[in-house]
Amino acid sequence: MKILVPIKRVIDPYVSIRVKSDQTGVETDNVKMSMNPFCEIAVEEAIRLKESGKATEIIAISIGNQACQETIRTALAMGADKGIHVLTDEILEPLAIAKILAKIVEQESPGLVILGKQAIDGDNNQTGQMLAALTEMPQGTFASKIEIEGEKIKVTREIDGGLQALNLNMPAVITTDLRLNEPRYASLPNIMKAKKKPIDQKTPVDFGIDISPRIKILKVIEPPKRQAGVKVESVTELVDKLKNEAGVI
């Protein structure tokens, strides 16, 4: 079985985000970038499935500028077999990404597509669901456990009320939650091997996909600074502040 793992290059989660002075977005120049944490979990799960004999090939896919090849190399060093880089300097919306991925699914005919439930930059949580709709494949979102039994896959997913179990026919689309696994670190020998693994480069034009944006960002601003707390002398003063200053009662 072949597994496709879409991955995204984002600002490292431990970096403090700074908004551009013209409020058109956030600063990315000279900022540390890394693989989206949910995508790391997806890569790790695909590798574990291969190690258990459930999969034969893992293809990591990234859509973005030339620097995305570094992110693909990271996935290859973790254990993916090959990469596909869709080169574009445009910032793509989830629907455009899902359409490109749908074309790759059509070409590669995978048994499973595993991707992070969301990227930490946009937090849209849309690409996996849109991909499932476009390919008409069953989907299991927010997966905290995956079990493959023959041509079916059992997905335990996290919901507000607890856990929900789904039995899906493959091929299927799975999006990963935080508790699915703990991603491994790439060893130095595997990092060296990753440099020789193939990466196919394509563009959105190769798939005939219109990537024109449908949403216009008016401006990006920082959240308001948290104000310092104050001490009150009595319950009466506390209630007065909650009523007159905070407006919560």
Choose between 232 and 132: higher pLDDT: 132
Q: Does position 248 have pLDDT exceeding 70, yes or no?
A: no
* Mean pLDDT over each residue of the chain, to the nearest integer: 92
CA distances from 198 to 23, 69, 100, 173, 211 (A): 39, 11, 20, 24, 26
The pLDDT assigned to 71 comes to: 96
Q: Does position 243 have pLDDT exceeding 90, yes or no?
A: no
Residue 97 confidence class, pLDDT cut points 50, 70, 90: very high
Q: How many of the other CB atoms lie within 10 Å of CB of 57? A: 16
Residue 247 confidence class, pLDDT cut points 50, 70, 90: low
Q: Does position 127 have pLDDT exceeding 90, yes or no?
A: yes
Strands 9-11 and 33-35: antiparallel
User: Which two structure tokens, joined as six digits, stand for 26?
Assistant: 């956030």
181-189 mean pLDDT: 92
Q: Does position 47 have pLDDT exceeding 80, yes or no?
A: yes
One-letter amino acid at 120 equals I
- Spacing of C-alpha 18 from chain mean position: 21
Q: What are phi and psi of 99, to 5 degrees?
A: -65, -40
Q: Calculate what percentage of the chain has a pLDDT beyond 70.
A: 98
The CATH number of 2-222 is: 3.40.50.620
The pLDDT assigned to 35 comes to: 96
CA nearest neighbour of 7 among 127, 124, 134 = 127
82-86, 157-161, 171-175: least confident range: 157-161
Q: Does position 65 have pLDDT exceeding 90, yes or no?
A: yes
Residue 103 confidence class, pLDDT cut points 50, 70, 90: very high
The pLDDT assigned to 156 comes to: 95
Q: Does position 249 have pLDDT exceeding 70, yes or no?
A: no
Choose between 225 and 155: higher pLDDT: 155
